[in-house]
Amino acid sequence: MPTWRHSSLRNSATERQIPALLHLPRPLYARAESLSEGSWTPTHRHDWVQFSYAISGVLGVHTPHGSFFAPPQWGVWIPAGLDHEVVTSTRAEMRSLYVRKEDCEWAPDRCRVLEVTPLAKELIKTFCQLPADYPEVDSAESRLVQVLLDQLANLPEVGFSLPLPRHPRLLGLCGELIETPYQAVTLNDWAARLNMSEKTLTRLFQRETGLSFRGWRQRARLLSSLNALEEGVSVTSTALNCGYDSTSAFIAAFKGLFGKTPGELFRG
């Protein structure tokens, strides 16, 4: 797994401890955390599914296949057995649900970012107040769990992910752009560095990431803006710092990806 994704965080931030669970005591297990600025976990995996969502702050989940980001009121679904790291550049309030694999066989076996609906939010809030060994059989708690699982099965998926190429040299260039999103690098620049034609690079990039070069670069820039906006950096400064020449172009692109303007997403 590439280390450039949060190597700067590791030098100055807090490593979070991973719960020492050998198995889940019930079909659904909750964990509530207040995360300090720059928190991170080492690469790890679970025998169960994990769904983590941000009440405040921005969560980043990094996997061998790409990075997934959850602004406030979105969450990341992590399938069982997948190597992953969780990082937060800002302070964050996180709620995690661990689900037994056999109780969510309906879920695709891939990492996804899901929108947490108002109903799901309230159900998670209520469930987090229950004891870990809540009554399983014919109880109000077990019925709440079933309703919550039904809601999780129907949460809408959003595209807040950044797929990574497996091609080593292409991966290195993508890493540079993530670290310095303001770079005015062009497809021609990349083709020259990789000693291939633009046409060949276009096909390779699409095959490796599922996105065009332009689409991938725009998504990388917009995702890089989330932490700054959450910290209260102005929209204009954020736009310039992630490679946009105008605030209006940045806001339009931001709304195109996230469905909301920066002000709407981070209001309050």
86 plus 114 within the same structural domain: yes
**Inter-helix orientation angle 198-209/213-224, to 10°:** 60
182 plus 242 within the same structural domain: yes
148 plus 15 within the same structural domain: yes
Q: Measured between alpha carbons, how far is 216 from 211 in angstroms, rounded to an integer?
A: 6
Q: How far is CA 268 from CA 9, 72, 134, 210, in A?
A: 26, 11, 34, 35
219 plus 144 within the same structural domain: no
Q: Measured between alpha carbons, how far is 129 from 144 in angstroms, rounded to an integer?
A: 12
Q: Which amino acid is at 267?
A: R
Q: What is the pTM of this model?
A: 0.85
* Beta carbons of 155 and 117 less than 8 angstroms apart: yes
For residue 254, give every residue at least 6 positions away whose Cβ sits within 8 Å of its Cβ, in sequence order, or none.
Answer: 222, 225, 260, 261, 262
Residue-range definition of the domain harbouring residue 92: 7-158
109 plus 208 within the same structural domain: no
Q: Is residue 216 part of a domain?
A: yes
CATH number of residue 249's parent domain? 1.10.10.60
Which of 158, 187, 205 is the last residue before a domain boundary? Answer: 158
177 plus 116 within the same structural domain: no
User: How big is the CA angle at 45 (ends 42 and 47), to the nearest 5 degrees?
Assistant: 155
224 plus 174 within the same structural domain: yes
CATH number of residue 153's parent domain? 2.60.120.280
* Beta carbons of 214 and 186 less than 8 angstroms apart: no
Provide the number of structural domains found in the chain: 2
75 plus 122 within the same structural domain: yes
Q: Is residue 253 part of a domain?
A: yes
For residue 169, give every residue at least 6 positions away whose Cβ sits within 8 Å of its Cβ, in sequence order, or none.
Answer: 194
What pLDDT is recorded for position 2? 38
172 plus 39 within the same structural domain: no
Q: Is residue 119 part of a domain?
A: yes
112 plus 232 within the same structural domain: no
Q: Is residue 44 part of a domain?
A: yes
Q: Measured between alpha carbons, how far is 6 from 13 in angstroms, rounded to an integer?
A: 10
Q: Is residue 1 part of a domain?
A: no
Which of 94, 125, 158 is the last residue before a domain boundary? Answer: 158
121 plus 186 within the same structural domain: no
Tokens 């020449």 sit on residue: 245
Q: Is residue 67 part of a domain?
A: yes
Query: Tens place of pLDDT for every residue, the chain, 268 residues?
Result: 333 344 444 444 577 777 778 889 999 999 988 888 778 888 999 999 999 988 888 899 999 889 999 998 899 999 999 999 988 877 888 999 999 999 998 888 999 999 999 999 999 999 999 999 999 888 999 999 999 999 999 999 998 899 999 888 898 888 888 888 888 888 899 899 889 999 999 999 999 999 999 999 999 999 999 989 988 899 999 999 999 999 999 999 999 999 999 999 887 5
Q: Is residue 101 part of a domain?
A: yes
Which of 114, 136, 158 is the last residue before a domain boundary? Answer: 158
78 plus 170 within the same structural domain: no
Tokens 């809540």 sit on residue: 134
**Inter-helix orientation angle 168-179/198-209, to 10°:** 80
Q: Is residue 2 part of a domain?
A: no
Q: Measured between alpha carbons, how far is 268 from 263 in angstroms, rounded to an integer?
A: 9
For residue range 87-114, list pLDDT tens digits in order.
887 788 899 999 999 999 888 899 999 9
